[in-house]
Amino acid sequence: MVGPGKRLRMTAAARSTTDHIGRGVVSGLAGTAVMTVFQKLVEMPLTGRADSYAPAEFAEKVSPGELSSRVGRDSLNYGTHFALGTLWGAAFGVAAAKGLRGAKAVGVVFGVVYAGDVLLNTALGLYQPGTWSKKDWAIDVVDKLVQAAATGAVLDRLADSAG
């Protein structure tokens, strides 16, 4: 217990983990930006897929209230899209704090976070992966793998410059 006049001090290991997570969050934003550009300029023109509102649907499912305008829903969609990207980044930060980097980190974090994403959204009734076509699976996996690879690359670069 910390009393008056006493300060809680972080151990070096806790500070290091916090630093990794902070860099991971920044990397997650960058990785999500890369994924978004990839989707808009490469994947969607090739596949003919329209914009996805899955992030907005997730936010609407887990938070109270409704949005009555298209602009509000678009803002919620992008805000949630990038917020979820920061969570991917935080997972990369935890992995980096444990010594995982490069392709190994991308593989581990992608496997864990992607499985969690599909399971959570399925449990919320937002995804029905049993009905997805091979094309749907390929689009979902490739888009999120691009995000994961970009996040990992940015985090590795930030780690190299930090230390």
Q: What is the pLDDT of residues 92-123, one digit of tens each?
A: 999 999 999 999 999 999 999 999 999 999 99
Global pTM value: 0.88
Q: What is the DSSP string of 53-68?
A: -HHHHHHHHHSS----
In which domain, by residue range, is 42 found?
15-162
Q: How far is CA 94 from CA 31, 102, 113, in A?
A: 16, 14, 12
Residue 113, domain member (yes or no): yes
Range name among 8-12, 74-78, 83-87 with the lowest pLDDT average: 8-12
Residue 108, domain member (yes or no): yes
Domain count of the fold of the chain: 1
Cα gap 10→40, rounded to integer Å: 43
**Count of positions (residues) in the chain:** 163
The per-residue pLDDT for 63 is: 87
Residue 2, domain member (yes or no): no
pLDDT digits (tens, 9 = 90+) for 40-62: 999 999 999 999 999 999 999 99
Torsion 26-114-104-133 (CA) sign: negative
Residue 10 has pLDDT above 70, yes or no: no
Residue 10, domain member (yes or no): no
